[in-house]
Each structure stands twice: as C-alpha cells, then as structure tokens.
Structure 1
Amino acid sequence: IVALREYLEKGAKVPGTYMPGRRDGDHLQVISVINFKGGSGKTTTSAHLAQKMALDGYRVLAIDIDPQASFSALHGFQPEFDLLDGGTLYDAIRYDNPVPIRDVIQKTYFRNLDIIPGNLDLMEFEHDTPRALAQRDGNLFFTRVGDALADVEEDYDVVIVDCPPQLGFLTMSALSAATAVLVTVHPQMLDVMSMCQFLLMTSNLLGVVAEAGGDMSYDWLRYVVTRYEPGDGPQNQMVSFMRSMFGEHVLNHTMLKSTAISDAGLTKQTLWEIEKSQFTRSTYDRAIESISAVCGEIETLVQEAWGRTNGA
C-alpha cells in the first residue's frame, strides 16, 4: 500500500494527495499526550493515533516515556524481558555519556511506525536531574528531549510522545520539545477537577521553564474526551461544561467507551489489528468510527500547522 501511495503521488495533480507528510519548509510535529490522572485513556489514544497516522502515510516515531511502558507492551516490547540492557529514551538524554537517539529507535510491525520503548530506567532521569541542577553543569533538562530529536528530525513527519501520569522532569522536557499538546479527559467530575489542578501546576512550572529560555509556544492544544458513554447523563453534563469552558479547544469528536477497545487490549492489540469478526458488527463499527473521527480531526490540526487547508 505504501509503494502504491508513493507511485500515485508522483502523478498527483495536488501534492500530498496520497503522501500527506511534510514538504519542504514544514517543521516536525511533536505531539505530547498528557494527563495527570491514570485511566484517562492516554496510552490507548496515543497508540491508535500513532498507528492511524502511519496507516495514512505519515512517517511516525512513537516515544514511550511512561516507566509503566504500556505503550511499549502494545507494540510487542516487554520491558522486563526485551530491554534488559537499556534501549529507552533515557539512554539518549542522560547527563553522562548519552547515546545517539538512533541507537534506541526500533521498528514496529507497522510500516512507517518506529518506536522508542520505555521501562523503569526512565525514572533515572527524575533522579539525575536534581543533581545536575545542583551542580549547575550547564545541562538544561528541558532541552534534552528536543535536542535528541533534532538528530532524526528529517526522518519523520510526526512524533507522538506518551507521557507518564505525573508532572516530573521527563514530562516537562517532553512538553518543552512539543509543538502540540493533546490532553485526554475522562468526563467525570473528579477527573476534570484533577485535570484542572494538573494544568494549573503545569502552567506554573512551564512558566519557570519559559523564563529560563524554554520555548513554550504550541501550534495547538486540544482536549479529547475519552471513554465517553453517550447515554450517561452526568457525562453529557460534564462534556457540555467542558465545551462551555474551553470552547474550540475541545475536539468535536469523542472516543467512546467500547468493549471492542478493552477486549483488543487483553491481547495487546488495537482496533487496527484485532479481528473484526470477534465482535458484533455494531460494536466494532461504533468504536472504529469514533477513533477514526478523533484521529482525523488531529490529522487536520497537523495539516493546518503546516499551513494547509482542505488538503491543499
């Protein structure tokens, strides 16, 4: 399919008709997917978005900086067995003897999708950074992810970073490297309150980073409602509240709560991989339509960041 896309693109009247990725002058899109609260659907959203963009012809690098490494497990990397000698982003951003980022990038079974898997080694960055700050050795922690990505910038169109559910040095470095931020939100009162506290802390800390010279400007920031049940009255009220508060910053489409998604996760698969025949047709179709719509809306934001509208 990729070869066919490339062949058809050569004869296309409109550039990007079949290969929608970067063109000359387009900057790398780095999307950090964040939330302070676990269970918000962050990894599920990251995985489906990364795979869908790869299927649509983008060159995608996924980075798992969550020490729990759920994103990695979804792509066949079991951290306690497959990453015994390192191989995470920590190796490329550590303060002493970092390795080239290319050394920790691995292929996945999806064409156009590479991954930097995660494991508990990532916590070392949280422990090393206070010591580096105390020594004032000139290594700014918030530039390390962006500096590492600069070495492979030309190889990818989009980088998707699955952040841990905590506001540590890793998350702040990922946010400093990001060109866009996607916040996953489960539409329950406690989850929305937690998100607001998270954003308040993030704003305060990143304000300090900005004063120290960090670039905190983003092409876009959006909230995506996850695990949404349309028939749930309180959830509908929370979604309406969010839309009234955040307006266009909330994606129009939502990710539905679905047995298809949770059942696929039991075998470490996504909806793009699982056999459709395992579900009733209506269950599968609702789930795939929901996720496709969310991913499509995000792809439109990426295209607009490159100055394109309506695919032009």
Structure 2
Amino acid sequence: MREALKDAKVSRETTATAVKTASSRRDREWPRPDHCRVVTIANQKGGVGKTTSSVNLAASLAMHGAQVLVVDLDPQGNASTALGVEHHAEVPSIYEVLIEDMPLDDIVVPAPEIPNLYCAPATLNLAGAEIELVSKVARESRLRRALDAYDTNKFDYVLIDCPPSLGLLTVNALVGGDELLIPIQCEYYALEGLGQLIRTVDLVKAHLNQKLRVSTILLTMYDARTRLAAQVAEDVRSHFGDVVLNTVIPRSVRVSEAPSYGQSVMTYDPGSSGALAYSEAAYEMAHGGAVQ
C-alpha cells in the first residue's frame, strides 16, 4: 500500500510538472517532421479517448505551425463534430473515398476554428461501409491507395481516427498509417483486449504494411486521486517501455464539454488541465517520442 501511495504521489507530481511545462512551451516553435507522418489512432475498446486524442493532438500541433489533416474513419463522426466540420449525409465524405473511389482532394475541408488544420469528414453512410468493403478489390488497402494518390506532402501530420472495433475500417487505417498511437485509459481492464490489437498489428505488418509500428502509447483519463490509475500507468510503462509518453491526460470536464460546442479543448478552454496536458503530449510527439 505504501508503494502504491508513493506511485500515486509521483504520478501527481509528474502530471503537475507536465502541465506547468506545457504552458511555458506553448509559444515556442516546434520542430516539423522532414516528411509527412501518417499516424493511426486505434484501440478497439470504446471510450478510451481515441477521438478526443485525435482532435486535441491535431489542434495542438496545428496551433504550433504544423499542417495537420484529421481523417475521420468513425461512422459516428465525432472528430468531424469536434472540429466544427459539417458531416451530414449530403456532404462528400470518407465514405465516398473508400467505396466510390472519390479523390481525397474532393472531400478535405479546413477546420473553421484553427488555421493549418484540415479534416476528411465522416458521415453516417460510413456505418454500412464495413459490409460494402467486403466485396471490393483490395478492400484492406482502399485508404492507403487514396492517401498515395493524394498530395500528403503538404501536411506534416495525417492523424487517422478509428472506430472502436477491429473491422475493415480499422484495418484500412492500419494499412494506411506508418505509425500507430494507442490511447489507454488508466482504469480497470485497461490492458484487456490490447493483445488482440497487437496481434492484428502484427498480421497487418506481415502481410499488408511492413512500415507499420507502434510509435506512441498515450495514457488517458488519469485520476491522480486513485491508486488504481498509478498502478495501471506503471503496468503500461513496464509493458511498453519508451513508446509511452511521459505526459498523462487527466480526467477533465472541459475536455468532455468541448465537442458539444464544435471545438477542441485547445480553443474551448486553452488554460484547462486537459488542454495543457494535450499540448504537452503533442510537444512530445513533435519531438518524436517521450521528452525526458
């Protein structure tokens, strides 16, 4: 028990330090990659912060000068909502790209709140795409083909937000990405199901996309008041090592509220603990990994 309390204290101090450091780094110039980084954000477990992380990392990177595209592959379209992008049924979307071979260039739109940030929106039509993709030629590589035909060099980052499943949409995202970012919530059962995700990644790497690698693990929904959160964080770090970002994302009401206003937390409440933590996590990403 003494060790768990000590871990909780260390984690609280780490979070506090990260938040303070984030505010001091906010106005600095961040490095930009020498080529476009295509990062898939996936975890088949629902409610772990995939969309929240996609939107807020993208917003933070864009606010520091990077050109960023968010590809919304979730039929719920929550990333599109949070970026303030229209995604009703009549809007050309990622569905038309995957199913009807529409060029990505015809659907990508700027996010109205943040310069340098763009979105390939999802509509409810995407809900049927899992079934429709089954009969398509090269069904696992449709997104990769669309990205290859698109000028991704005008972007520094392409972040692909996945649905909470390991179906064909997520497989398309894994084939389309070079890196995988896995959000893991600091709660009970956090690691359950990750084995299946890692096995899927290994299969995709062996047969469809040799470049794919797990580059980043992001701990989300961290509650410093609980011993459980500290224990989960310790377990994840011991299991995944250096790919786990030093920054943890705390539970934050502001982070949850922001999408209902069509915003990321970076613009909704930039001084909140959630916004500062995501800014720090994006800073680590921009530097290629955990910052010591």
Q: CA deviation at 1:206?
A: 2.0
Q: C-alpha distance in 2, partners of 1:88/1:187?
A: 33
Alignment of 1:19-168 (within 5 A): 20-22=31-33, 26-79=34-87, 83-94=88-99, 97-109=100-112, 110-132=114-136, 139-150=137-148, 151-168=150-167
Q: CA deviation at 1:27?
A: 3.0
The structure 1 segments of at least 4 consecutive aligned residues displaced by more than 6 Å after TM superposition are none
Q: CA deviation at 1:274?
A: 1.7
Contact 2:255–2:275 under 8 Å retained in 1 = no
- TM-score, with normalisation over the residues of structure 1? 0.77
Deviates most, 284-293 or 64-73: 284-293
Q: C-alpha distance in 1, partners of 2:252/2:151?
A: 36
Alignment of 1:219-230 (within 5 A): 220-230=214-224
The structure carrying a bigger strand percent of its residues is 2
Q: CA deviation at 1:220?
A: 4.9
- Cα deviation code 1:74-95 (max 9, x no counterpart): 122353xxx322411121222x
Q: C-alpha distance in 1, partners of 2:91/2:260?
A: 26
Q: CA deviation at 1:18?
A: 5.0
Q: Which runs of no fewer than 5 residues in structure 2 stay unpaired?
A: 1-27
Q: CA deviation at 1:261?
A: 1.6
Aligned residue pairs, count: 263
SS in 1 for 2:75: coil
Q: C-alpha distance in 1, partners of 2:130/2:159?
A: 21
Q: C-alpha distance in 2, partners of 1:19/1:193?
A: 35
Contact 1:62–1:159 under 8 Å retained in 2 = yes
Matched, 1:274 2:263: no
Of 270, 278, 281, 1:291 maps to: 278
Q: C-alpha distance in 1, partners of 2:204/2:237?
A: 25
SS in 2 for 1:289: helix
- Cα deviation code 1:16-42 (max 9, x no counterpart): x958435xxx33211111111111011
Q: CA deviation at 1:191?
A: 2.6
Q: Which residue of 2 aligns with 1:239?
A: 233
Contact 1:63–1:117 under 8 Å retained in 2 = yes
Higher relative contact order (CA 8 A, sep 6+): 2
SS in 2 for 1:231: coil
- TM-score, with normalisation over the residues of structure 2? 0.82
Larger Rg: 1
SS in 2 for 1:227: strand
Identity %: 27
Q: Which residue of 2 aligns with 1:6?
A: none
Q: CA deviation at 1:250?
A: 1.4
Structure 1 residues 98 and 287, CA gap change in structure 2 (3 angstroms) = closer
Paired amino acid for 1:273: T
Contact 1:229–1:235 under 8 Å retained in 2 = yes
Q: C-alpha distance in 1, partners of 2:75/2:283?
A: 29
Q: CA deviation at 1:260?
A: 2.4
